[in-house]
Chain A
Amino acid sequence: MKLLLAALLWLLASLALAGRWTPAEEARALALGNDLRCPVCAGETVSQSTAALARHMLGQIKSQIRSGRSDPQILAYFVARYGRNILLTPPHSGLGLLIWLLPAAALLVGGGLYLRYLRRQDQPDGSAPPEERLAEVDRLIRENSPPELGREHR
């Protein structure tokens, strides 16, 4: 009985909501719209733009969400009509792969050079034991710094 009541309530609620968008639908549409370039604007996404066509595209996305289509299906719909260029994410293949790998490659190469720099720096002559070297550095700092500065290093 309780179950039936709940089902009835749910049905009523969904009927009342039909035609208006739930916050979840709205959020999903906005997320999708942020992946799409507004075709009539310069450098704005569909979700950002206040242009009429962009808002109608957002409406399209919502109706497609309502009719149960998945995110990739909805994006594919727009790609089929506007070309790959409508998507704001470069493809994960071909030339696009290059741009996806660039930041990681920069970090990796940079990190490698950084470690090599530290290691090369670590053992230039390799003879002095650490304590002696520390004392040497302390002495150098004292010599090279004005009095106030020496304090600052502590």
Chain B
Amino acid sequence: MSRRVLRWWPVALATLIVLALAYGLLKPGQSPVTPLVGQTAPAFSLPTLRGGKISLAALHGRPVVVNFWASWCVPCQQETPTLERFAARYGKQAAFLGVTFSDPVADARRFVQQYGISYPVLIDHRSDTAINYGVTGVPETFFINAQGVIVYHAVGPLTAALLRKELARIGVAVRPS
């Protein structure tokens, strides 16, 4: 009896493998794990495109939105007008910062002009800040509350709905549009 059952073990194994692959293929893709959420945002102090210098420490006490982008990235081109609209609207309550890396400065400058970006854009020359924030690509955006804790890490282009939701979570009084 047991011998007759046992001889079918390769069939059971093959079935299991096929089922696991099917599940792996069909389950919805997950957003990457971001271990920094809930942690204190890593400090940085970087030169801006206009020639000044901005450090995160100096903004302590205010909510901060840090947007990593590059001029050659298509989704960045999609999200920038939305982000600019929100920055103009809520710039008094929260600090909006762009950080450009892996990008020639001249290209970044052209991009800022083309999209009329009014918030400060920082140059992360050696990508040190991007690495410190665990950035895996562009665009990625971090929402930091007034206590300096990362509340949300957005991967991919921002939408108005997402901005509204996450700005509220870092303590910005969001008005209904």
Binding site for B on A (CB under 8 A): 39-40, 51-53, 56-57, 59-60, 79-85
Contact = CB atoms under 8 A, between A and B. Distances in A.
**Secondary structure of the B contact surface, majority rule:** loop
B17 to A, nearest CB: 13
Contact of A53 (B32, B33, B130): B130
Contacts of A56: 101-102, 126-128, 130-131
Interface stretch (B54-62, B91-99, B113-121, B132-140): B132-140
Given A39-B136, A56-B102, 10 more contacts: A39-B137, A52-B127, A53-B101, A53-B131, A56-B127, A56-B128, A56-B131, A60-B126, A80-B36, A81-B132
A57 B127 contact: yes
A83 B102 contact: no
B29 interface: no
Contact of B35 (A39, A40, A57, A83): A83
Contacts of A40: 136-137
Interface string B12-53: 000000000000000000001111100000000000000000
Given A53-B127, A53-B131, A56-B128, A82 B102 contact: no
Contacts of B133: 81
A5 B126 CA distance: 38
Contacts of B34: 83
Contacts of A52: 101-102, 127
A40 B133 CA distance: 14
30 contacts: A39-B135, A39-B137, A40-B136, A51-B102, A52-B101, A52-B127, A53-B102, A53-B130, A53-B131, A53-B135, A56-B101, A56-B127, A56-B130, A56-B131, A57-B127, A57-B131, A59-B126, A60-B126, A80-B35, A80-B36, A81-B35, A81-B36, A81-B131, A81-B133, A82-B35, A83-B32, A83-B33, A83-B34, A83-B35, A83-B134
**Secondary structure of the A contact surface, majority rule:** helix
Nearest to A51: B102
Residues of B in contact with A, size category: 10 to 19
Contacts of A79: 35
Contacts of B102: 51-53, 56
Contacts of A59: 126
A59 B127 CA distance: 10
Given A52-B102, A53-B101, A53-B102, A82 B134 contact: yes
Contacts of B137: 39-40
A85 B35 CA distance: 11
A80 B35 CA distance: 6
Nearest to A80: B35
A40 B140 CA distance: 12
Contacts of A81: 35-36, 131-134
Of A56, A84, A85, which is in contact with the most chain B CB atoms at under 10 Å from its CB? Answer: A56
B87 to A, nearest CB: 25
Contacts of B33: 83-85
A9 B136 CA distance: 44
A5 B132 CA distance: 42
